[in-house]
Structure 1
Amino acid sequence: MKFAAIIPVFILSLTMPVQDARASEEFVVVVNPQNPTSKINKNELIDIYMGKRTAFPGGSKAFPLDFEMNSKLRTGFYQSLLGIPVARVNAYWSRIRFSGKVSPPMTHADLPSVLDYVANNTMAIAYIPKSAITDNVKVVYRLYE
């Protein structure tokens, strides 16, 4: 009887670190201020980042940016957006990369390089921490609302 009562508590404790890590970082999705897109919805964002859509809602080409595989920002973003571990996202891209039909988002090593790329490319789209918003980017989606 005692063992049965401990199992739900143990299972709950396994999920808590993921929730805590996700709650500590608030992400926004940004584009270049000259990009005509002013708003994007969650499904459109998922489709862009999972390679199912290659254009913004208005039809112009989208160039999604990502952080390197072991980045904490990447892990937090995909957990927030999709609710799945980044390992599943990596496995997904490993499977479809070889189809040749779609490429994964371009990766960058750090936040300054992502911000610089978005500031200089009107069709770039990226996720960044809310705290990193500058005048050189335009927010089109907030993951924390």
Structure 2
Amino acid sequence: MLRPLLTLLVLMLLTFDARSNVQEDIVIVVNKHNPIEYIEKRQLIDMYMGKYLAFPNGHIAVTLDYKKEHALRSAFFLALTGRNIAQINAYWSRVKFSGKASPPQAYPSIEAIIDKVVTTPSAIAYIPASAVTDELKVVYRFAK
């Protein structure tokens, strides 16, 4: 009786730890010199779904994303649109085929995204809150 209970307790603790890592706050960041201070969720949806390619002030935005297999991508698009990653990938397949828009530039890692935002004043991206540096400005936060 004690062994199954102990096994269950260990599994619960491991599950809790894994979920807490996945559910870290995701933030939207821009270069610290970008004049944007805040962006609305609706504007983010338009930018990340290829409907609008500029910041609210009209300046062109370079929207950055992760490669399809990156774990943060699923959590971000679910928080942003309420759609799972399969639905997002299907959406982009349709949009690309129609020629109406192109998906955001894709990068393999958080570090690559941060480097691009730091060196590109017009870039916008999403990263875990714990990865924010002094060279970045947070303009939106998805809470857990």
Query: Where in structure 1 are there 5+ consecutive unaligned residues?
Result: 1-19
Kept in 2, the 8 Å contact 1:66–1:106? The answer is yes
Partner of 1:73: 72
Amino acid at match of 1:98: F
Rounded to whole Å, the distance in 2 between the matches of 1:71 and 1:25 is 15
Rounded to whole Å, the distance in 2 between the matches of 1:100 and 1:34 is 33
Query: What's the CA shift string for 1:26-65, capped at 9, x where partnerless?
Result: 1000000111111100000000000011100000001110
Kept in 2, the 8 Å contact 1:22–1:79? The answer is no
What is the Cα deviation at residue 79 of structure 1?
Answer: 1.1
Q: In the alignment, is residue 85 of structure 1 matched against residue 84 of structure 2?
A: yes
What is the Cα deviation at residue 101 of structure 1?
Answer: 3.0
What is the Cα deviation at residue 21 of structure 1?
Answer: 7.2
Structure 1 segments, 4+ long, off by >3 Å, are 20-23
Distance 1:36 1:69, change over 3 A: same
- 22-31 or 56-65: which moved more? 22-31
Rounded to whole Å, the distance in 1 between the matches of 2:116 and 2:102 is 18
What is the Cα deviation at residue 125 of structure 1?
Answer: 0.3
3-state secondary structure, aligned to 1:126: strand
Rounded to whole Å, the distance in 1 between the matches of 2:74 and 2:110 is 14
Kept in 2, the 8 Å contact 1:22–1:80? The answer is no
- Of all paired residues, the percent bearing the same amino acid is 47
Partner of 2:23: 24
Kept in 2, the 8 Å contact 1:118–1:137? The answer is yes
1:58-137 → structure 2 map (5 Å cutoff): 58-137=57-136
Partner of 1:3: none
Distance 1:144 1:22, change over 3 A: farther
What is the Cα deviation at residue 144 of structure 1?
Answer: 0.9
Kept in 2, the 8 Å contact 1:32–1:136? The answer is yes
TM-score normalized by structure 1?
Answer: 0.82
Distance 1:98 1:79, change over 3 A: same
What is the aligned residue count? 127
3-state secondary structure, aligned to 2:103: coil
Rounded to whole Å, the distance in 2 between the matches of 1:119 and 1:92 is 29
